[in-house]
Structure 1
Amino acid sequence: MPHPEAMTDTGAEEASPPGSGPEDTLHLRLPDEFRTLFHQGAHSSVSRAKQISVSAQDLLVAPADLLDSPADWGPVSTPAGEFHLVPVRPERDLALITRWMNDPSVAAFWELDGPESVTAAHLRGQCDGDGRSVPCLGVLDGTPMSYFEIYRADLDPLARHYPARPHDTGIHLLLGGVADRGRGLGSVLLRAVSDLVLDRRPRCARVVAEPDLRNTPSVSAFLNAGFRLFGEADLPDKRAALMVRDRGLRHLL
């Protein structure tokens, strides 16, 4: 599947590369760390073991748990205005996102241009999934103007291409309007959203990204937003710049 990153545009730390997008994400089984929840308490009482099993099952079926409820993260102030991530509702947002995907500058990297059915299938794969990827509108001062995908990079095929850590969180971004590109707004929003991730997801130590290496505006936007270049990676659909924003360095970069 095509991999996003159009700023017109997600990264890592020390080794090889991320790969693949949200639709592939939905087909990757959860790692063993979740499965072990079912086996904890083996030396405890049967009732205790049952409680653990129920909790693990809740993890698998409750989308909010995997990303700590982006719908509840709330608005934040940025140099560009008040910014809010609002989870996508296809019945409300499909036409707008389809229009953005058909912008040639966006289509060159997302490869989701075409009729609404193409965008609908892409959104459905996430909205009907287990919650490891959440598509959102970026709303600035009340106006939807960008599209984000917040996803669990450690549960994505991307994790096969770099030394993933539990709760690594990835970002895909596109700016919808031509007027919003080329003036630093992408960096402002990427910093705001990565700050939101680190503030609202205390278990997440890194925000990662893998923009197409050819997409120099996107790569520059990530660098200006406090991400560092971790390396390059040959993903199934592109040569990517692997980038990471570390919790410990967020106030230095």
Structure 2
Amino acid sequence: MSIHPDHRHDLGTTPADHPSAEPTGDDTLDLRVDDLVALLTGGRRGTVPDTVPGTDLGTDLGTDAGTDRSAGPHPDTAVDSRLDGDLLDSVASWAPADTRFGSFRLVPVRPGRDLPLLTRWMNDPAVAAFWELAGPETVTADHVRAQHEGDGRSVPCLGVLDSTPMSYFEIYRADLDPLARAYPARPHDTGIHLLLGGVADRGRGVGTALLRAVADLVLDHRPRCTRVVAEPDIRNTPSVSAFLSAGFRYAAEIDLPDKRAALMIRDRALRHVL
């Protein structure tokens, strides 16, 4: 399963069982003053270190107990701090979630540690078909760097299942994203992009379980968010099906710059029903 974040796909055909639907005008984009201030004053949070020492993820997910802090913050800590502004309510601090496949948590990407793994995933043909980030490590590095150097509206994360990194997520403010031009966004709408790294994790319900878990994490930790949204390519039938099984509803088909997408929404009000 892969869901591309940059809307750069060829247009697909419209499935017969999903007729096109126009979003209603009931929702409006009404940014809060504090969001506008955060965007205007947050600015660039600096660049991501290019040479963070490689570490073992299994032992690097806890605290930095025993680290000498006399010389200033650890570079990785600095990266995490840039990823945890008010725009997304400190993703790195979100508690783990229990799934039927094990304990799952989101861990913000640290380039010096994670780029080789992410690059390998991006070069998987099934992933590359939708993410379009195949190529050398610099391609993935540029994609991640754009988020790290941004204003905090998108946080790239490893999805870690029982201490094993096995997926990649981007948690983003859909209402502050270009996506908001294509549908009637509401303040604090939060978006999800996902890819499953390992072939063994595809086609057996893992994606559905993780989508539900991450949507629940968003709703648990972002009290002002009333909806979690996604926009998989309409041609990516397995992804659309996984979202439906995870409690999202099919809202409409929307035209994005380089793909026709299925707008999927999971409503806070219906989270315990669907």
TM-score, length of structure 2 as denominator length: 0.74
Alignment of 1:125-140 (within 5 A): 125-140=146-161
Equivalent residue for 2:242, pick from 221, 233, 245 = 221
**Contact 2:22/2:253, CA 8 A, preserved across alignment:** no
For 1:57, give the aligned amino acid.
T
Give distance in 2, aligned partners of 1:102 and 1:160.
Answer: 30
| Matched-pair contact (CA < 8 Å) for 2:8–2:259 | no
State the Cα RMSD in Å: 2.7
Aligned equivalent of 1:57, options 30, 41, 55: 41
Q: 1:4–1:173: 8 Å Cα contact kept in structure 2?
A: no
Q: Indicate if the aligned counterparts of 1:137 and 1:145 stay in contact, CA closer than 8 A.
A: yes
1:88 and 2:106 aligned = no
Shift of 1:126: 0.4
Distance in structure 2 (CA, Å) of the matches to 1:215 and 1:56:
36
4+ residue runs of structure 1 moved beyond 3 angstroms? Answer: 1-5, 31-38, 54-63
Deviation (angstroms), 1:34: 3.4
CA separation of 1:64/1:55 partners in 2, compared to 1, >3 Å: closer, same or farther? closer
Alpha carbons 1:4, 1:172 under 8 Å: kept: no
Aligned-residue identity in percent: 71
Equivalent position of 1:246 in the other structure: 267
User: Are 1:15 and 2:19 counterparts?
Assistant: no
| Residue 141 (str. 1) matches residue 162 (str. 2) | yes
Could you tell me the TM-score, scaled by structure 1's length? 0.80
Bigger helix share: 1
Report the Cα offset of residue 64 of structure 1: 1.8
Aligned to 1:34: 33
Matched residue, 1:9: none
Deviation at 1:4, TM superposition (A): 8.1
Contact 1:149 1:173 in 2 (8 A): yes
Distance 1:99 1:137 in 2: 13
Does the aligned pair in 1 maintain the 2:168–2:197 contact within 8 Å?
Answer: yes
Match of 2:195 in 1: 174
Matched residues, number:
218
Q: Structure 1: which 5+ runs fail to align?
A: 6-12, 17-30, 39-53
State the shift of 1:14 in Å: 6.6
